Structure 1
Amino acid sequence: MEGNRRAPRPLPYATCNEDEQDMAKGLKAGDKVSWKSHGGEAHGKVVRKLEKPTTIKGHKVAASKDNPEFLVETEEGKRAAHKPGALRRD
């Protein structure tokens, strides 16, 4: 009776763990940070904390108060959103 199987239910959005919450509380606009990138390691600064869904360069960012992300900008002016756990303070 394979035809009667239900599709798996989608998992709810994950919330930040304690380490990410601590990092999220500690970061603010202007802080210098680094993160892993497909080209190695990127460096830049925090532009602002995102706490609601938004779109950056056509990509949806599912940020919320329980699951914040940070808008960061590289030294070359490129912008991206990252979860707190992906950022390291420089």
Structure 2
Amino acid sequence: MGLHKGDKVSWQSHGQRVRGTVEERITSRRSAAGRTVDASAEEPQYRVRSDKTGRDAVHTEEALRRE
């Protein structure tokens, strides 16, 4: 799929669909959104910001759906 900064996406959280925006593609192990993210260039993860709460979360590409 190849997500990019600014893409509108949605994901499942606590039984409901949350909508937000891709803020960053993460390709190395580091801290993001309050936890350690074990990402790599082969398996990137994405920092997304919720439209409703403004909070950041980190998800794999498989967990995100382009809106």
For normalisation by structure 1, the TM-score amounts to: 0.68
1:49 is matched with which residue: 18, 25, 31? 25
Q: Would you tell me which structure has more helix in proportion to its own residues? A: 1
The structure carrying a bigger strand percent of its residues is 2
Consecutive unaligned residues in structure 2, runs of 5 or more: none
For residues 11-35 of structure 1, give each alpha carbon's deviation from its aligned partner in whole angstroms, at most 9, with x where no partner exists.
xxxxxxxxxxxx2x2x110010000
Q: C-alpha deviations, 1:19-61, integer Å up to 9, x for none?
A: xxxx2x2x11001000000151110000010001111243111
- Over the matched positions of the two proteins, sequence identity in percent amounts to 39
CA RMSD, 1 decimal: 1.2
2: CA distance, partners of 1:33 / 1:74: 9
Where has structure 1 moved over 6 Å in runs of 4 or more? none
Equivalent pairs counted in the alignment come to: 66
Contact 2:29–2:38 (CA under 8 A) maintained in structure 1: yes
Corresponding position of 2:66: 89
Q: Scaled by the length of structure 2, what TM-score is found?
A: 0.89
